[in-house]
Chains A and B, each alone.
Chain A
Amino acid sequence: MNPVYISGVSQRIVGRGKPAPPYLKLLADAAADAVTDAGLEPHAIDGLVLSSSIPQPFACNPAELAEYLGIGPAYAAMAPYGGRPATDVIGMARSAVNAGLASNVLVLSADNFATTLGLEGAIELYMKSFDQTYERPFGPLIPTAFALMAARHIHDYGTTLEQLASLAVTIRRHGLLNPDTEVSGELTVRSVLDDVVISSPLTRSMVALISTGGAQGFVVTRRPTGNRAVAVRGYGESCGFMSLTQAPSLARFAHIRVAADQAVTQAGITLDDLDFVELYDPATIVPLILLEEIGFCEKGEGGAFVESGAVDLGGRLPVNTHGGTLAFRHPGMGAALDSVVEAVVQLRGEAGARQVQDAELGLVHGQGSWLANNGFLVLGRVR
C-alpha cells in the first residue's frame, strides 16, 4: 500500500471544567485550523471523514457537514458507532486516498457531551457501553471493566498495585509537561494508592479524567503538503469481542497482537524501531496489558516493565508523552485522536519540554470499549 501523509493537524482545547463550544463550532474550528496547518486552501479538500461523537452519532451526517463547511464535490464518509477505536478514521481516510476516491481528506472529531449532559450525565452515557440486557443490570461502572482485568492480571501474574500506580505517576509527570493539561500536581505511588477506591482494586488516580469537550482535525493527503507532513506507514485493526463475558480471558487478549502486527508489518519495521508509543489509557491496567500483548515485553512482565522506567520520557520507550486520558484530558470519542495529534507533534519535533529526542517512528493505539476493538497506527517522520 502506498504511504499517505498527515499534512495538517489541529486540536481544540477547552480546559478543565469549562463549558465546551457547540458541536458544530468545534468541528468548524478544527477544520479551519487543520487545513491551515497543512498549508492548503479549503477548496483543495476533496474528502471528509467524520468521527462520530459518542452521543451525537447523527447530529450531522458527513455530507451535511461537507455542505456546512462548503466542501465539494467530495468523498464523504463517517465512522458512526461507539465501541470503535477512533484511530479508524485515519485508516478510512488512507483507504479513500489509496482507492483514488480523494487526494486531500479532512478528518474531523468533536465532543462536548459532558458540557451538555453534565458530569453525571456523561458517566451515565459512558455506561451505556455495557450490554444493556446482560451486563448493565449488575451495575458495573466503566472503571469496573478495567478493575476486572486488573484483578485477574494481579491473580495470574503477580502484578502489584504499586506497579499499576507507578504508571499513573509516570503519565502524570508527562502530562505536567503539556501546557494544555487539565491536571495539576505530581502524583506519587503512595498518593495514587491512598486515593479513593472507585471500583476495587482501582483508585481514582488510576482511571481516566472526564473532560467537558474537545476536537481534533487532520488532513490526510496523497502527497505531503506544507513542510511538516508525517507519513502514515501502517494501520491495523481487530475486534475480539464486545461484551466482557465474551472475552476469552480478561488478562490475555490475542486479538490485540493481530492489529498491532498488521500495522507494524505494513510499515516494514520492528517494535525495536519505535521511538515512542501513545496508548489509550482509560485505566493504568490497559497500557500495561497492551505493552505485553503488542510484544514490547513478555506476557506478565508489564508491571515490571513500567516500574523499570522504560516507559518514562528519557526511557527506551516513552509512553503517553502528552499525558493521555489520565493526565491530559478525555474529551470523549476523540481521546485516541489526541494521541494521533501528539504523535504528529512529536515527529515534527515540536513537542517542547516533552519532546522525545530524535523521534522518527511512533505507534498510536485506539481502543473501543475495553480492549474489545483495537486500532494501531504507525506514523513516521518524512525525511
Chain B
Amino acid sequence: MTTTPVEVDVDPLEDPAAFFWRECGRSAFWLQHCGDCEKWQYYPRHLCSHCWSRKLTWRRPSGLAVVETFSVVHRGSGAFADLTPYTVALVRLAEGPTMMTNIVDVDPDRVEIGLEVQLDFARRGDRVLPVFRVRGR
C-alpha cells in the first residue's frame, strides 16, 4: 500500500465504522486525524476524543506498529475454533493509537513484546481484517 497521505474530508455525521470496514475490504487502512489538535485516534469516532473537535479527516497511516502485548489463544470459541492457535495482540501504531489485531504468518513462539510489525490484510469469512505481520517479511 502507498504511504503517501491521501486525505479525504468526510462528513462527521457519516458512519465512521462503516467507512473503516468498507475500506479494509479494499485493502485500504484509514485512521482519523484531528485538524485542531493534530492527534490521531483509533477507533474512529464522530469527534476527536482528545480535544472534542469535529474537524476530523481520514488519513492513510504508515502501517508500522510495535507489539505492546499479546496472547496466543489455544481454545478458540465458535468460528475461531478452527484458527487455533492464533495470536491476539495490542499493537501501538507509529502514529500513536493502539489497536487490537492478529499477528499472522509467524510461529506464535516468535512473537514478543516490542516486536516490529507491519500492516497487512486477511480475508476471514465475509470481511477483510487489518492484521499485522513481522516487519520485513
Contacts and interface: CB of A to CB of B under 8 A. Distances in A.
Chain A interface extent, by class: 20 to 34
Given A138-B88, A138-B100, A243-B43, A152 B69 contact: yes
A327 B71 CA distance: 24
Most B-side CB within 10 Å, residue of A127, A139, A141, A243: A139
A177 interface: no
B74 A148 contact: no
Interface residues of B, number: 31
A227 interface: no
Most buried by B among A140, A149, A244, A245: A245
B75 A141 contact: yes
Contacts of A200: 71-74, 108
A250 interface: yes
Contact of A151 (B43, B70, B74): B70
Given A135-B100, A137-B129, A199 B72 contact: yes
A377 B71 CA distance: 32
B100 A244 contact: yes
B71 A245 contact: no
B97 to A, nearest CB: 7
Interface of B: 17, 21, 42-43, 68-78, 80, 83, 86, 88, 90, 97-102, 108, 113, 124, 127, 129
Given A134-B42, A200-B108, A245-B98, 8 more contacts: A137-B129, A141-B75, A144-B73, A148-B69, A152-B113, A200-B73, A245-B97, A245-B99
Interface of A: 120, 123-124, 127, 131, 133-135, 137-141, 144, 147-149, 151-152, 155, 196-202, 243-246, 250
